[in-house]
Amino acid sequence: MTISRRPEALWCPNARQGAANRWSYPPTVEKLLRDITAGRTVLQLFGGLSRWGTKLDIDPTTTPHVRGDAWLPPFARDSFDVVILDPPYAGINQQMKQMLIRGAAFVAREHVIWFHTQWVAPDSGMRRERSWLVRVGDSCACRCLIEWRVVAREKPIPVLNFTRGPALKYRRWLAGEVSLPFGVEV
């Protein structure tokens, strides 16, 4: 396989069928991701509304396969061939990015795929194989789609304790102390 160091452009048309105000990958991105992951086991972190793979999400209304915290994925080392990260499109600082990517790399045997508005460098133990700058529609922020290969024999251990950031909020929901703000009592 030829490894391209320069990102490619991926153009998504404006018209999307059946996506009425619900999250979903743009069809062009979904097709590419399905092609990349064909024949491999896939974990989708933040993926309750995805249409393939094992879906982990904190929101029970998305009917994920696993209700869990993407910041603390409840899977053993090398549980899936590919882990896809599509975190909410809010600012992610270095510590938050590191928590997500380390957890994903720990669970992934082969690849971690990042889909977000922010271009990020991989954590230790991975190298970028392919990447795309994605135009998702008019008047939209571009997305970054990055495929990293997990190469470290000794993967970094995921962060297990958080003192700040979104994981604290999610841990509260998982423990059942506070209902989710999605109109559904847990």
Residues 126 and 105: their CA atoms lie apart, in Å, by 8
pLDDT digits (tens, 9 = 90+) for 63-99: 899 998 888 898 999 999 999 999 887 777 888 888 8
Q: Within 13 Å and on the Cβ side, how many CA atoms surround 121?
A: 5
Q: Which residue has the higher pLDDT, 118 or 34?
A: 34
Position 66 in a domain: yes
CATH of the domain at 140: 3.40.50.150
6 closest CA partner among 125, 115, 132: 132
Q: Is the pLDDT of residue 4 over 60?
A: no
Position 152 in a domain: yes
Position 116 in a domain: yes
Position 157 in a domain: yes
Position 181 in a domain: no
Domain membership of residue 27 as a residue range: 8-12+23-174
Q: Are strands 8-11 and 66-67 parallel, antiparallel or unpaired?
A: unpaired
Position 184 in a domain: no
104 closest CA partner among 134, 121, 129, 126: 126
Count of domains observed in the chain? 1
| Entry pTM | 0.80
Q: Is the pLDDT of residue 56 over 90?
A: yes
The gap between the terminal CA atoms of the chain, to the nearest Å, is 47
Residues 49 and 55: their CA atoms lie apart, in Å, by 8
Position 144 in a domain: yes
pLDDT digits (tens, 9 = 90+) for 106-142: 999 999 999 988 888 877 688 899 999 888 877 777 8
Residues in CB range of 176: below 8 A, 6 or more apart: 186
Q: How confident is the model at residue 185 (pLDDT cuts 50, 70, 90)?
A: very low
Token pair, residue 51, equals 């249409």
Position 127 in a domain: yes
